[in-house]
Amino acid sequence: NFMLTQPHSVSGSPGKTVTISCTRSSGSIASNYVQWYQQRPGSAPTTVIYEDNQRPSGVPDRFSGSINSSSNSASLTISGLKTEDEADYYCQSYDSSNQDVVFGGGTKLTV
Amino acid sequence: EVQLVESGGGLVRPGGSLRLSCGASGSTFTNAWMTWVRQAPGKGLEWVGRIKSKIDGGTTDYAAPVKGRFTISRDDSKNTLYLQMNSLKTEDTAVYYCATANLYYDPYFFHYWGQGTLVTVSS
């Protein structure tokens, strides 16, 4: 399987913008969708971005997703940071060859 | 809206066995691919394995670390998913989540999660 690599941590001040990257080790990032999850301590993950760049209802438009084929990576951008955004964020995709699910290692966002 | 509730976690000795259950609400369970994901203390999310819906073959797939030791099954009449864990190792200590997709989207992505159940493997 390929790997999805995320930075261990990122930080930003309230009101600022941060971007979390998710780099695919082999194969094209565009070949399968990427989904992003937010996980607060003691809670199950929740989806903040699906199908690369779609927001579920209820997720603020401060959250956006994109993919970049040149860097073979996906990105989660959070603008207008709020203290409530402080959480762990995970990217996830799957391997078409065997249908195995792949998670990134997770990024701790500190606001 | 699908609700998932795991149960069956606890303390078990290395080499022991444990069976987890995940009860699902709603009428979509039969058509859903159901997945187990775990999270070791202070670590990231790890896919454990999946069982497809019977209409899609009902087959199972497992991550390499658990293959041959863990078995996923389902009882559609009870809207319940199971994870039978045998030959447990200390590195299997984790919160185990069941998860599933919204049926309108790819079954490889998860929109619904349970609250998790803690499995501790220790002597």
Residue from B59, B62, B67, B109 whose CB has the most chain A CBs within 10 Å, to mutate: B109
Three-state SS at B54: helix
Asked if pLDDT for residue B104 goes beyond 90, the answer is no
Asked if pLDDT for residue B102 goes beyond 90, the answer is no
Residue A54 CB burial class (10 angstroms; 0-12, 13-18, ≥19): middle
With helix as H, strand as E and coil as C, how does A25-90 read? CCCCHHHCCCEEEEECCCCCCEEEEECCCECCCCCCCCEEEEEECCCCEEEEEECCCCHHHCEEEE
- Determine the distance in angstroms separating the CA of B111 from the nearest CA of chain A, rounded to an integer: 6
State mean pLDDT over A7-14: 98
Per-residue confidence at B105, pLDDT binned at 50, 70, 90? Answer: confident
- Determine the distance in angstroms separating the CA of A31 from the nearest CA of chain B, rounded to an integer: 13
Q: Does the beta-carbon distance from B44 to A100 stay under 8 Å?
A: no
- A interface with B, Cβ–Cβ < 8 A, is 32-33, 35, 37, 39, 44-47, 50-51, 56, 88, 90, 92-94, 98-106
Q: Does the beta-carbon distance from B44 to A101 stay under 8 Å?
A: no
The residues near A105 (Cβ < 8 Å, ≥ 6 apart) are A4, A5, A6, A8, A90, B44
Look at residue B17 in the predicted model and tell me its pLDDT: 98
Kindly report which listed range (A12-16, A53-57, B23-27) carries the lowest average pLDDT score: B23-27
State mean pLDDT over A22-50: 97
State mean pLDDT over B26-49: 95
Per-residue confidence at B103, pLDDT binned at 50, 70, 90? Answer: confident
Look at residue A109 in the predicted model and tell me its pLDDT: 98
Look at residue B32 in the predicted model and tell me its pLDDT: 94
Per-residue pLDDT tens over the stretch A68-106: 999 999 999 999 999 999 999 999 999 999 999 999 999
Q: Which residues of A touch B47 (CB under 8 A)?
A: 100-103
Q: Does the beta-carbon distance from B106 to A33 stay under 8 Å?
A: yes
